[in-house]
Amino acid sequence: MNYPNGKRGSSMNLAPKGKKKPDFSNRGMTLEEDINVTNEYYLQAGIAVVHKKPTPVQIVNVDYPKRSAAVIKEAYFKQASTTDFNGVYRGKYIDFEAKETKNKTSFPLSNVHQHQIDHMKEVHKHGGISFLIIKFTPLDEVFLLPSPLLFQYWDDQMNGGRKSIPYTYVEKEGMRIPLHYQARVHYITAIDKLYF
């Protein structure tokens, strides 16, 4: 079957014995896509203005097969990006990163980068609200972890501490984010409870 986007559909048949079973792990929307839908709902409902930050890219080579259809052949990231999302809610600047993990028992700190931590520390220092949204994909659970709690584990890791944040810690100290139809990842409820 061919879909409107031009891609062929895959067969749902199970693989024969001895062959690898098909991977259906990415059939649903990703956390980032769910947050984009949530942010659009917040904007339309007048709740908050939050957008995904574009990653700065330097275009090096462009092919022009037709005047109306330019194709980028080569491009590079200009610089390391900061965090995924930023905006304004109730007069406060909010800035956050969204990460998913397939791990059930902890969130690996290797999913976050030093430049993102540095940026979140600056936002926090200047009175903005910064946090990490973590989705434990196998559990289908999403949490908001305030950045100071993330910083504790990050700094400890740099001094020989553990290289992940235990699920039990995230569950206890973070705020579970309810999943809804329109606001799929309704993180504003967690911000209200933690900051207002």
Which amino acid, one-letter code, is at 72?
A: I
One-letter amino acid for residue 20 of the chain: K
Per the CB < 8 A criterion, the answer to whether 87 and 51 are in contact is yes
Residue 116 annotated as lining a ligand binding site: yes
User: Residue written as tokens 């926090």?
Assistant: 124
Beta-carbon-side half-sphere exposure of residue 12 (alpha carbons within 13 Å): 2
Pick from 35, 52, 84, 43: nearest CA to 184: 35
Structure tokens at 169: 């810690």
Ligand-binding site membership of 97 (annotated)? yes
Asked if residues 96 and 132 have their Cβ atoms less than 8 Å apart, the reply is yes
**Which residues are known binding-site members?**
82, 84, 97, 116
**Which residues are known binding-site members for Mg(2+)?**
82, 84, 97, 116
